[in-house]
Amino acid sequence: MTLGRLALGVAAAWGAYAWGAHVVTPACVWRGDRARRRVALTFDDGPDPAWTPRVLDLLRERRVPGSFFLVGERAARAPETVRRMAAEGHEVASHGWSHRSLWLCGPWRTGEEIGRTHALLTALAGSEPRHFRPPWGMVNAAMFGALRRHGERCVFWSIQPEGLRSAPPDLQVRHVLRRAHAGAIVDLHDAEGTPGAPERVLAALPAMIDGLRDAGYDPVTVTALLG
């Protein structure tokens, strides 16, 4: 009986720490200003040594700024790519150090995931990251305090053409263009979470960008979208 009550207590505490924290997520950023026809193309999980430079090449050709939510340990292995992002006018933002779900991180580990990445990206980009996206979209109660300490805001998305299930490039383009709206934050992936994701997003981007512009949308960074 005692062990059963202890187990129930632990489960309740974990539920409040992880699941319960999602009650606060409506206060996070999900979209930008509804009055202006602007959208933010955001990229998660990088930098990937092979695919992220190709995404940057394409964005440079199309003169489109992106917002890159970077995994700290991957950024540490590709410092020149991070510096290039900043130099070319893209936003460098945080996706945590290891891409570990915050549901599996206690308060100390959560602070490390956020703080260590914040310090690295500040050193590489030359300015502090202002935004954080939790891996897998999962938050915990300790995240909010850690973000406040580092001056970061939690940013989710309003359009996600590919999540855990792969989607071919043409379907991703149709998904984004059909759901496009003023202030949209589009969640894309320039590194593998879902196998093959960066190759598909690279194939989808030209038609996606052209379609958004043809519909009167101006691609901007998340910071510009919220400014």
pLDDT at 6: 47
> Can you read off the two tokens belonging to residue 9?
């207590």
Per-residue pLDDT tens digits for 175-191: 999 999 999 999 999 99
pLDDT at 152: 98
pLDDT at 11: 52
Amino acid in position 126: G
Q: Residue 104 sits in a domain of what CATH number?
A: 3.20.20.370
pLDDT at 7: 44
135/41 Cα distance (integer angstroms):
17
Give yes or no for a cis peptide into 134 (omega within 30° of 0): no
35/112 Cα distance (integer angstroms):
37
pLDDT at 10: 46
Q: Residue 71: give the domain boundaries.
A: 2-226
pLDDT at 24: 81
pLDDT at 5: 55
Q: Look at the pTM and tell me if it is higher than 0.85.
A: yes
41/219 Cα distance (integer angstroms):
7
Residue (of 88, 110, 92) closest to 101 by Cα position: 110
Domain count, the chain: 1
> Do 129 and 94 meet the contact criterion of CB atoms below 8 Å apart?
yes
pLDDT at 15: 65
Contacts of residue 118, defined as CB under 8 A and 6 or more positions apart, other chains included, come to 94, 128, 129, 150, 152
Is 189 in the active site?
yes
Options 90, 131, 189, 190, the catalytic residue = 189
157-193 as b/e, with b when 16 or more CB fall inside 10 Å?
bbbbbbeeeebebeebbbbbbeebebbbbbbbbbbeb
pLDDT beneath 70: ranges in the chain: 1-16
Options 44, 48, 187, 190, the catalytic residue = 44
pLDDT at 180: 98
